[in-house]
Structure 1
């Protein structure tokens, strides 16, 4: 059987190794250059590859194709494979065939990286044999090929879920659903919502579905998807149906084992992080981790890089790196948590954004705006009428300098871009690292 892997990044190269280990004929093709570390990995397992092209004769003869999540379904080679009826799956789907580990899977428009990292931290602190995979961590397929974990904590994007069919999450977590990536979903919100709910497919009554009880979209959609799993809703306050919530400054989890801890002991602060902590606490509780271990890990977690990350205080001005905020709702949470007047650095590759959601917070909290992008026209159309100082820049160096000029002592400069980073940066990590670099040079 011939397996072709499209895309040779973390997920693609890992999938290729697992396919090779399982005895398949494997070929890897990437339209871009392949990083040296992945070439070395492919060479180690004697896997043939090509870069900067897709040679049709070597791809269209596949029995099955494993597609990297970054490749859209509209790509010409994908369309041709679909016409041939070739099965196209994700790396996670493929890896799931070869492990009996307990799968803890997290998705949502916002908060999934922090929640995934926090769940992994709790499991690891409790001494469980656990792997971190998906959108963060190492390739799940590579871990299945080279290691043998009892648990995997997996962050899943909608793109990964799109090509998952038989994979089963034992514990599925859906943090929230707000508009994101609509450019990949024909600008149809329902397509994106359906992708997120794929995390519940194949779940049985023995499995768990953890979700935010107050999310209007999740509430509306719950009955549509025929969910078999046991439901574990969480909310900020005790309310109808919520299993986990805060009452009298105590975090309370009622099922499956009663749990409580003082809210002020949580390492992560802010409303959005309360949701992350509740979802993580529930996941750990369901996995049978002791109350003591859960309390300890929820109180000593260090947070996630590029997510409301404090960088430095320069002459009384606080600089915060929230480069991971690649959609409007992420920026809303960031602005909501700002205790001071804020200079907001925003912009990048627009994914079909509607900025209405942050309009009131921008009016209330922002001293000024710095637009960092190749094309800022949509930002100007929306924000110019607010009467705030606005500066356009094309580099992070200029963004930091202009924001610093605009801020007053006691203010915060917040990089929370609402947008993808690909117009001026390699990725959101590159964007966040450049922000930190130039802040430290002030």
Structure 2
């Protein structure tokens, strides 16, 4: 399949202001400087030492711990880092003056003719992105991986010349697109998440995810979970131009992917790939779906079937996503710190095959815990709360399990779990919440868990 042809005008004369001096901000600054923009990076917080050094190396003007509004309002174009809300006062001010505010993904896509694969969803997008990249790389393609994972897309466009990019895209990144058009879009699933950023309106969040299809044409493809009621409902009510390729665990699919009689079957026009599901290295129904999505992308890009099968059999998964850490006294410790919402934790609990001591908690994003009640009743013997405010968890599960313990540190949580777990049990860290009350991010939380387990 040939590289995507871009018709984006590469307007490189002008002043680009960048809000946020992290990975996406500094990556955009490097690309913009290379393309002839006058660049100014502004961050309300402190800019990390590594990023400061990069800005200095490329002679890019920057400021930290403030936004010089008068200067920023002179910009021809503004790139906003995904962590900054759409309705931040400065963003509203810029838009009020007619200054376009875009995402790094939108900016970087203007300077590459590579074929773009965009992957979004509430859960599974990191695994699916890494899975897809793994297969395409094994298939001999010159492929980069960016977005929410690894180095920024903009920095890679500035410094490498990949023919394909696999991009993990959050709803925040998609909110800032205008012309961005992935040739292949994947939506893994849509469940309530980040509703604090969408005025607690689920429909707004759904629309944000579907922005990935906004500029697609009849020549493009949308791969999606046909078992997801939210996706199915939206597609019935709205028209998209791209060709639909669903995947399903529940029904047979004529063009797309499904599982029947413990076999994965992917059909694209007259080409069919089959593979026993027992050969998949990653366990769980959700990972079977991730594998179907990634393999469908690979089929579209004409990767050899044998390469796809081998890749699906060898892929090792993602750190902090149902990651087996250690077995101590015949108790398995599992790190699922990346489960920052209820749906991700649902998948984790569903895949547990033994009595489970569940470590849960953090910053609640307006979670609806009722979806977990049946699984908690079936599988969880004790709950360890790990957060500053555990009230929502205590209220939701107080009547489900006999033992609920509150903790304020990972070390304490793991020690409590060690006391409560018996031979044959599992200790599962799957927080269903953001991490910012006690940890820097979910990676920090997961690494502290692994360290605490190793210190037992």
Give the corresponding residue for 2:434: 420
Matched, 1:146 2:159: yes
Q: Distance in 2 between matches of 1:373 and 1:411?
A: 23
Q: CA deviation at 1:283?
A: 0.4
* Equivalent residue in structure 2 for 1:93, among 87, 106, 125: 106
Give the corresponding residue for 2:337: 323
Contact 1:233 1:241 in 2 (8 A): no
Matched, 1:22 2:20: no
Q: CA deviation at 1:61?
A: 1.3
Matches within 5 A, 1:164-179: 164-179=177-192
Q: Distance in 2 between matches of 1:309 and 1:194?
A: 32
Give deviations 1:126-153, integer Å, cap 9, x for gaps. 1110000000011000011111000000
Give the corresponding residue for 1:114: 127
Matched, 1:222 2:222: no
Q: Distance in 1 between matches of 2:28 and 2:113?
A: 17
* Equivalent residue in structure 2 for 1:39, among 48, 52, 58: 52
Q: Distance in 2 between matches of 1:242 and 1:315?
A: 48
Matched, 1:74 2:87: yes
Give deviations 1:55-108, integer Å, cap 9, x for gaps. 112211111110000111232211221222211000000001011101011011
Q: Distance in 1 between matches of 2:434 and 2:401?
A: 26
Matched, 1:310 2:324: yes
Contact 2:184 2:220 in 1 (8 A): yes
Contact 2:255 2:268 in 1 (8 A): no
In structure 1, the residue corresponding to 2:54 is in which secondary structure? helix
In structure 2, the residue corresponding to 1:319 is in which secondary structure? strand
Q: Distance in 2 between matches of 1:250 and 1:282?
A: 15
Give the corresponding residue for 2:7: none
Query: What residue ranges of structure 1 are gaps of 5+ in the alignment?
Result: none
Q: Which moved more, 1:142-151 or 1:378-387?
A: 378-387
Q: Distance in 2 between matches of 1:224 and 1:154?
A: 27
Matched, 1:335 2:349: yes
Give the corresponding residue for 1:402: 416
Matches within 5 A, 1:251-400: 251-256=264-269, 257-400=271-414
Matches within 5 A, 1:52-71: 52-71=65-84
* Equivalent residue in structure 1 for 2:168, among 149, 152, 155: 155
Give the corresponding residue for 2:194: 181
Contact 1:213 1:242 in 2 (8 A): no
* Equivalent residue in structure 1 for 2:61, among 37, 48, 52: 48
Q: CA deviation at 1:288?
A: 1.1
Give the corresponding residue for 1:431: 445
Per the normalisation by structure 1, the TM-score is 0.98
Query: What residue ranges of structure 2 are gaps of 5+ in the alignment?
Result: 1-13
Contact 1:327 1:419 in 2 (8 A): yes
Contact 2:382 2:401 in 1 (8 A): no
- Dislocated runs of 4+, deviation >4 Å: none
Contact 1:197 1:225 in 2 (8 A): no
Matched, 1:2 2:53: no
In structure 2, the residue corresponding to 1:254 is in which secondary structure? strand
Q: Distance in 2 between matches of 1:294 and 1:161?
A: 29
Give the corresponding residue for 2:9: none
Give deviations 1:368-411, integer Å, cap 9, x for gaps. 10111111111122111224311111111111111111111111
Matched, 1:201 2:214: yes
Per the normalisation by structure 2, the TM-score is 0.95
Q: Distance in 2 between matches of 1:329 and 1:142?
A: 32
Q: CA deviation at 1:242?
A: 5.8
Contact 2:377 2:401 in 1 (8 A): no
Q: CA deviation at 1:53?
A: 1.3
Give deviations 1:159-200, integer Å, cap 9, x for gaps. 111111110010000011111001110000000000000011
CA RMSD, aligned part only?
1.1
Matched, 1:244 2:257: yes
Contact 1:103 1:168 in 2 (8 A): yes
In structure 2, the residue corresponding to 1:18 is in which secondary structure? helix
Q: Distance in 1 between matches of 2:329 and 2:148?
A: 37
Contact 1:171 1:208 in 2 (8 A): yes
Q: Distance in 2 between matches of 1:74 and 1:214?
A: 33
Contact 2:128 2:290 in 1 (8 A): yes
Q: Distance in 2 between matches of 1:258 and 1:138?
A: 35
